[in-house]
Structure 1
Amino acid sequence: MRTEQSPLNSGFGFHTTAEQVLAGRDLRGFHAIVTGGYSGIGVETVRALVRAGARVVVPARDLDKARRTLRDIPEAELERLDLGDPESIDAFAARYVASGRPLHVLIQSAGVMACPLERDGRGFERQFATNHLGHFLLTAGLWPALRRAEAARVVSVSSLGHRICAVDFDDPHFAHRPYDKWIAYGQSKTANALFALELDRRARGHGVRAFSLHPGEILTDLVRHLSPEDLRRVGAIDATGNIQPPEVTGFKTVAQGAATQVWCATSPQLDGRGGVYCEDCDIAPAVGGDSPEKRGVRPWARDAAAARRLWELSEQQLGREFFIG
């Protein structure tokens, strides 16, 4: 059934942790892939899923870093994947599909934020290419495994950054407009939400549902490209450059930041639902484009026509049809 973009009053909230979301759950026999699972909230997501009994694959561009980061979670299975390299994406997906395992949940937690202008070999801007196009291609490659699960979820990690702007369909890679790191980030996060919306529309008949979410403001490696001025502006550091604790900034801890993506991936409260944007372990309210609030999803990130247009643009740019059948 189609779900309206309105809160469920889930009983969870801002301070909920990933472990609390899964309290009492038994996920043995549950197979998951978590991109970005060796950094920031991805690590806590993997930890919570593994503790609940799930089998988790963590694809990584830097396997040595992944091994070091996940050394206390030996159950996590590491695989090589570079979301900026279509050949690497195809190879990873082919290996997983060939293993014969189902894929009950794909959590797309990897991403880059507000980096200087970089282009890959195709001329694609890095944030749009990694945050959206890489995950689009990965989901397409893993489609047989998602279908094999019979009831699967794809969880696309967006951000409150989506409120910055819509996707510029005429120039997504800044070929004809000045590059702005925040505009580039904002459109990539809007793309994450639109991808989940359209994937859910196309895939629900096959038992695959999709969700997008804002994990919360969290101080992780994702901010590595931000200047001290950027960090002071958002309150992450004080005037002398010292990192502010969560109780001062109002940010979430990493464990709290992982909670919403774990909730979207596993919660029975979302059974029969999909295509919605979530925050604080609940469906977020729909708000206007001029809303002064940080909460809520803006109109351009829940626009069905824009979601279809993004899907078509993605297939065109990747030279690949994402066939769902």
Structure 2
Amino acid sequence: MTTAQQHIGSGFGARTTATEVLEGIDLAGRLAIVTGGYSGLGLETTRALVGAGATVVVPARRPDVAREALAGLERVEVDELDLADLDSVASFADRFLASGRSVDLVIDNAAVMACPETRVGPGWEAQFATNHLGHFALVNRLWPAITAGGGVRVVSVSSSGHRRSGIRWDDVQMTRGYDKWNAYGQAKTANALFAVHLDAVGQASGVRAFSVHPGGILTPLQRHLPKAEQVALGWIDEDGNALNPGFKTPEQGAATAVWAATSPQLDGMGGVFCEDVDIAVPWTEGADHGVREWATDPQQAARLWALSAELTGVDAFA
């Protein structure tokens, strides 16, 4: 079943927090995996899920930093995972599968944004590799644990940045002229298309997938952007204070992913792009909200899945 890109009247909005989304929802006995769940939006996501009773596994590129950030939170486990390294992805998945546990929800949150041109693995563009291919391989490798859960949701954290670029099919690795924002846009479109196809192929196993735009938030995601560039963008002033009135707090920014992962309002739905704690509408020219057609197209989603499986050598549905 395909869900339409249209508001469902969730009753929530841009200023709703993750904790508010979870009011009345009991996650006791449920296990979540949140990549990058120790910084920025990921940290607030982990806090909210733990507050509702869930156990949260946080795969982290910097496990020691993660443990320090998550100190004091109950039912949180930290393990090592570098999404830019497929051997690391495989090792984490093998360790988790060996535990014999099932997964109830996955939030693919970790990301890199607008970094200088960087090549990883066999020369892959780092944002596409980290934000998309690493998560693609992770979910496919964890598939036995995901399908063992029943009624599982996978949430792929995209961005309004997806509007910057569709998939550059003639040069996915951006070897002919690198632009950090176009690379970020392509990676965020890939996050959305991943959810489209995962939902299509996962429904038979009781798995639904969503992608989300969390909103504009000042977090460590901006670490690759010089202060002068952020000032020029109108994000902050010279003292580093937020200027954009549309920016959310991290607690508000985490709300849409948490809602997509847990809300009974979405039962029976999937494969859609969400923002401001509701299903997003299609983007129209000049709008500052909505999802572009290239990020929800099922044919492009299937094509990206095939390419990703070829690149990573992993496909749970092969």
Report the TM-score, using the length of structure 1 for normalisation: 0.95
Equivalent position of 1:285 in the other structure: 281
Q: Deviations over 1:227-279 (max 9, x none)?
A: 223212332212xx122347x53200010000000000000000000000000
**Residue 244 (structure 1) aligns with:** 241
CA distance, structure 1, for counterparts of residue 145 and residue 315 of structure 2 = 17
Equivalents in 2 of 1:74, 1:181: separation in Å?
A: 38
SS in 2 for 1:307: helix
Contact 2:156/2:192 (CA < 8 Å) preserved in 1?
A: yes
**Structure 2 contact 85–121 (Cα < 8 Å) conserved:** no
Correspondence for 1:201: 200
CA distance in 2, matches of 1:147, 1:309: 23
Give the equivalent residue in structure 2 for 1:258.
Answer: 254
**Displacement of 1:317 after TM fit?**
1.1
Give 1:74 shift. Answer: 4.0
Percent identity of equivalent pairs = 55
Structure 1 CA distance for aligned equivalents of residues 167 and 54 of structure 2: 35
CA distance in structure 1 between the aligned counterparts of 2:37 and 2:23, rounded to whole angstroms: 20
Measured in 2, the distance between the counterparts of 1:107 and 1:60 equals 13
Alpha-carbon contact 1:169-1:310 (below 8 Å) kept = no
Q: Which amino acid in the other structure matches residue 240 of structure 2?
A: I
Tell me if structure 1 keeps the 8 A contact 2:50–2:74.
no
2: CA distance between counterparts of 1:233 and 1:262? 32
- Map of 1:269 onto structure 2: 265
1:25 Cα shift? 1.7
- State the AA in 1 paired with 2:179: D
SS for the counterpart of 1:179 is coil
Moved more, 155-164 or 308-317: 308-317
CA deviation profile, 1:54-75 (whole Å, cap 9, x unmatched)? 0110011111110111113142
RMSD: 1.2
Question: Quick one: distance in 2 between partners of 1:281 and 1:102?
Answer: 27
CA distance in 1, matches of 2:27, 2:295: 32
Cross-structure match for 1:221: 220
Partner amino acid for 1:267?
A: S
Structure 2 spans left out of the alignment, 5+ residues: none
Task: Look up the match of 2:307.
Answer: 313
Q: Distance in 2 between matches of 1:53 and 1:125?
A: 38
Match of 2:185 in 1: 186
Q: Which residue of 2 is the match for residue 294 of structure 1?
A: 288
What code does the residue aligned with 2:55 have? Answer: R
Residue 316 (structure 1) shift = 1.1
What's the secondary structure of 2:302's corresponding residue?
helix
Shift in Å, 1:303? 1.0
Deviation of the 1:120 alpha carbon = 1.1
Cα deviation, residue 26, structure 1: 1.2
Asked if the contact 1:28/1:52 (under 8 Å) is kept, the reply is yes
After TM superposition, the structure 1 = structure 2 runs for residues 47-196 of structure 1, keeping only pairs within 5 Å, are: 47-175=47-175, 177-196=176-195
Letter in 2 for 1:277: F
C-alpha contact 2:280 2:291 (8 A) present in aligned 1: yes
Q: Please give the alpha-carbon distance, in whole angstroms, between the structure 1 residues aligned to 2:290 and 2:13.
A: 14
> So what's the TM-score if we normalise by structure 2?
0.97
Q: Aligned partners of 1:321, 1:250: CA distance in 2, in Å?
A: 39
**Conservation of the 8 A alpha-carbon contact between 1:235 and 1:249:** no
Instruction: Give yes or no for contact 1:235–1:244 (8 Å, CA) kept in 2.
Output: no
Task: Give SS of 1:64's match.
Answer: helix
Residue type at the aligned position of 2:27: L
Question: How many matched pairs?
Answer: 318
Contact 1:7 / 1:284 at 8 angstroms: preserved in 2?
yes
Q: Unmatched 5+ residue regions in structure 1? A: none
Q: Equivalents in 1 of 2:314, 2:109: separation in Å?
A: 23
How far the C-alpha of 1:24 sits from its partner, in A, is 2.1
Within 1, Cα distance between the matches of 2:121 and 2:291? Answer: 33
